[in-house]
Amino acid sequence: MRFIVSTSTLLKQLQSVSGALSNSTVLPILENFLFEIKDGNLTISATDLQTSMTTSLAVEAKENGRIAIPSRILLDTLKSLPEQPVAFSVDDSTFAIEISAGDGKYKLSGENGEDFPKIPVVENASSVNLPASVLGEAINKTIFAVSNDELRPAMTGVFCQLTTSSLTFVATDAHKLVRYRRKDAKAESTTSFILPKKALTLLKSALPADDVNVSVEYNSTSAFFKFGNINLVCRLIDERYPDYEAVIPKENPNKLAIDRLSFLGSLSRVAIYANKTTHQVRLKISGSELNISSEDIDFANEAHERLTCQYEGDDLEIGFNARFLIEMLKNLSCEEVSLEMSTPNRAGLLLPQGGDENEDILMLVMPVMLNSYA
């Protein structure tokens, strides 16, 4: 088998799917790219058995064939070569590969492409089409809140609820929760499933800047994403997602409205002086004044800042983990946010003000017990 392709074109396609590679010592072939040539078209696949990605490009080739090529050495070689045509020659009996580029020749050993795991295909799937911008925004707004706790596998992914009127993405780690809803995206029937974090991270980096259409197909075990020449398939997390609606407080009489960047700046500075274990900041609100403070008694560090805000409700003192609030504020793009609260021991809701009317974002953050300093 022999084919010719340009270094930059091949490298770009390899990098777009390389995130799906595995470092498996049990199945070393998963450290390889699968190259399949059919009628002058090269399909490249990478998989870790849970998530698989494929891409394709046209090459100069006279015969068909398949070979598994070690990913690391191939990527490193292509990165160090200037833009030029490279020729790949594969010995179909020994799986030896020779790469010719300009005056250089590079030899490496591949593996039998027939031993590469089969990439799953769509069967009995339902589908929905989404603009890449909507999908990208949904991933960006939720993925930071996903849990890393392997003992609670349902929470290590993003919960997707498709209905005939909207599409909802939910992520939580039990300390914070994000619910991202789109009213301009809907499915033909109601369903729900949990997408793993790795697949969404890969999707986020692979989605193009231009607003192409993404075809999302799903069945009871897998989800398939197709756009441009990229295909991504992932195994769904087969667990029951917690009833997130039950934890969202409905009555929140204390409402604080404040400029997002001012709030973010103050929290970022005050958090530097907070206890390094709890990251606790204290919000003290009275009238139109918000006092943000932190203290680390062990090192005699403390900080106070005062901000002007609009506030409806009783005077309130509440503690939060600053890292969670900062993360949430960074993942919003609005100018103003509102923080809705009821009591110091109940969750607060962070809501963007203004923005896209088709977008409904709710962020929930659990309070922390206040230390007894004055």
Amino acid at 350: L
- The domains located in the chain, with CATH, are 2-115 (3.10.150.10), 126-245 (3.10.150.10), 249-368 (3.10.150.10)
pLDDT at 24: 73
Contacts 24+ apart (CB under 8 A), 352-355: 352/260, 353/257
Instruction: For the chain of 374 residues, list the mean pLDDT of each consecutive stretch of 10.
Output: 96 96 87 96 97 96 95 97 97 97 96 96 90 94 96 97 96 97 92 97 92 93 95 97 95 97 98 96 96 95 97 96 97 96 96 91 94 53
pLDDT at 26: 85
Any idea of the CA torsion for 57, 58, 64, 69, to the nearest 10 degrees? -40
Tell me the C-alpha distance between 17 and 162, whole Å.
27
Give helix 260-271 / helix 322-330 axis angle, nearest 10°. Answer: 150
Which pair of tokens denotes residue 262? 């001012």
pLDDT at 169: 98
Element (H, E) at 133: helix 132-142
Tell me the C-alpha distance between 89 and 316, whole Å.
72
Q: Which class for 218: exposed (0-12), middle (13-18), buried (19 or more C-beta within 10 A)?
A: buried
pLDDT at 153: 96
Residue that the structure tokens 């020659």 belong to: 89
pLDDT digits (tens, 9 = 90+) for 262-315: 999 999 999 999 999 999 999 999 999 999 999 999 999 999 999 999 999 999
- CB 83: neighbour CB atoms within 10 A? 9
Task: Give the residue from 333, 263, 313, 271 showing the smallest Cα distance to 296.
Answer: 271
Tell me the C-alpha distance between 46 and 232, whole Å.
10
Sheet of 316-321, strand order: 301-308, 289-296, 280-286, 316-321, 367-368
pLDDT at 374: 41
Q: Angle CA(99)–CA(103)–CA(108) in degrees, nearest 5?
A: 25
Any residues with CB less than 8 A from the CB of 26 and at least 6 apart, and which?
none
pLDDT at 372: 58
State the pTM of this model: 0.92
Tell me the C-alpha distance between 41 and 54, whole Å.
13
Q: Which class for 298: exposed (0-12), middle (13-18), buried (19 or more C-beta within 10 A)?
A: exposed
Q: Angle CA(197)–CA(118)–CA(57) in degrees, nearest 5?
A: 80
